[in-house]
Amino acid sequence: MNSIVNLPNDDRSCGWYAALPEPLPAKRLSGQRTADHVVIGAGFAGLAAARRLAEHLPQSRILLVDAQRIGYGASGRNSGFVIDLPHKFALEHPDPRHKQRLLGLNRAAIDQLQTLIGRHGIDCQWSHAGKYQGAVGERGLAYLEHFEKLMADLGEPYRLVERDELAGVLGSDYYSRAIFTPGCYLMQPAALVRGLGASLPANVEVLEESPIQRLEKQAGGHWVLHGKDGSIRTPSVLLGTSIFTQEFGYLRNRLLPVMTFASWTRPLTDAEVAAVGIQADWGLTPADHAGTTVRMTQDRRLIIRNTYKHVPRYGRSVGEGTRAKIRDDHRKAFLARYPQLAGVPFTHTWGGAYAISRNFTNFFGQLDDGIVATACDNGVGAAWGTISGTLLADRVVGAQSALLSDIQTVTGMPSLNPPEPFLGMGVRTRIRWAAWNSRSEL
């Protein structure tokens, strides 16, 4: 029997979620249930897995179970990018075929999301806006030059954008230069995730606010999933639980729980938009990965995201004092870019936990008899979660494809971490060192 110890405990101040209407009351797990398949975790991966299972097996009973409300967890807390390009570290992989496989998987996810958004009329600010990767000083420019070389080697389109042109979009001359890549999409993540949950096939039953606390293996190839007020018996479990996979006893000492933080403003007024000359609907990520991400939403909110924390107890690792300090740091980054908007307040500051691995390897496959998982998105969860959840369901039903072969080729086992307390000390030291080195890019 595997017992979960730490449950999701996200803060209550996510701006994306707060901007949505109040959801209908949650349907919770109660009593004894049975299902042909159970998907745990209703983020991008779990939603995609449940949908694909239902499409393959329209007569099967599928349960999708989440500890919180759909859109409240990590999938609804990112900065709203769906990026086609491989992660910066993956771009440095020596095998060009590896990078092309990742690119193909990400683009398949984007196509899938775009189709679902159109088919079901999901209102989530979906936009083919592309993405800027920006540099402030010499350190950022060196990273940007390296990124340009990687893009040229990959054979993907990109465009250099100099300060004056960039300022005409951002409404700020803070950045020296950027590279624009056209394949990225922007969206409102909590709205997208909620819309995906609301449009699942009829044979998927969603249970929210129903944390699974124990997995019990029974004779005959079945599992019993124990919650506080009920249980589910099933022969097939799919874990779309990201960092929480280790709480079920799997991939322990192989995943690093990291939280990033963002703050956003109220919507800018017409006068404020005119004062800075800013355009709507764009996103900029830092050339130096420890720098600051900036986004302007379709409804004209500015988002500042930076600051990384090692969170061994997930949301419980971050107190109000830490959150206030992070909000102050975000304010400094905001004012450095938009001093004319000093009177525009932040309305929300939030964090979201995700999993990284020391060898930047994603896990995809079988963990136990009757249990499969996709875990460790390494910070690029929207596209990766969507395609890996979809292909995990294909794997369960035996549906072969070139994409399934590709994801099996590019994934593997996350490397082991050092034991505590050395792990925590090392991660915290590395994060502080990165922040210090990257202070000119914040």
* Token output for 146: 């390296």
> Residue 337 has what DSSP assignment?
H
For tokens 């006068």, the residue is 271
Q: Do residues 442 and 175 make contact, with C-beta atoms less than 8 angstroms apart?
A: no
The CA distance from 357 to 355, in Å, is: 7
* Token output for 406: 């590709």
The CA distance from 89 to 100, in Å, is: 14
Report yes or no on 72 lying in a domain: yes
Q: Would you say residue 6 has pLDDT above 90?
A: no
**What band does 438 get if pLDDT is binned at 50, 70 and 90?**
confident
3-class secondary structure for 161-208? EEHHHHHHHHCCCCCCEEEEECCCEECCHHHHHHHHHHCCCCCEEEEC
Find all residues with CB under 8 Å of 251, minimum gap 6, and list them.
Answer: 245, 363, 367, 373, 375, 376, 414
**What band does 2 get if pLDDT is binned at 50, 70 and 90?**
low
Report yes or no on 10 lying in a domain: yes
Peptide bond into 421 cis (omega under 30): yes
Report yes or no on 298 lying in a domain: no
Across the range 430-442, mean pLDDT stands at 79
Q: Do residues 82 and 125 make contact, with C-beta atoms less than 8 angstroms apart?
A: no
Across the range 250-258, mean pLDDT stands at 93
Report yes or no on 18 lying in a domain: yes
* Token output for 383: 């596209």
The CA distance from 38 to 211, in Å, is: 13
pLDDT given for residue 3 in this prediction: 61
Across the range 313-335, mean pLDDT stands at 94
Positive/negative CA dihedral, 136, 141, 143, 149: positive
Q: Do residues 263 and 303 make contact, with C-beta atoms less than 8 angstroms apart?
A: yes
The CA distance from 90 to 134, in Å, is: 19
Report yes or no on 305 lying in a domain: no
Across the range 433-441, mean pLDDT stands at 79
Element (H, E) at 304: strand 302-310
Report yes or no on 184 lying in a domain: no
The CA distance from 116 to 371, in Å, is: 27
- Percent of the chain whose pLDDT exceeds 70: 99
Across the range 221-225, mean pLDDT stands at 96
Q: Give the total number of structural domains in the chain.
A: 1
From the list 251, 433, 243, the residue with the least C-alpha distance to 355 is 243
State the residue range of the domain holding 384.
2-76+191-253+360-419
For tokens 């979809």, the residue is 390
The 10s digit of each residue's pLDDT in 138-167 is 999 999 999 999 999 999 999 999 999 999
Report yes or no on 9 lying in a domain: yes
Across the range 46-59, mean pLDDT stands at 98
Residue 308's DSSP bridge partners are: 260
* Token output for 412: 């593997």
For tokens 């300022």, the residue is 167
The CATH number of whichever domain residue 36 belongs to comes to 3.50.50.60
Report yes or no on 56 lying in a domain: yes
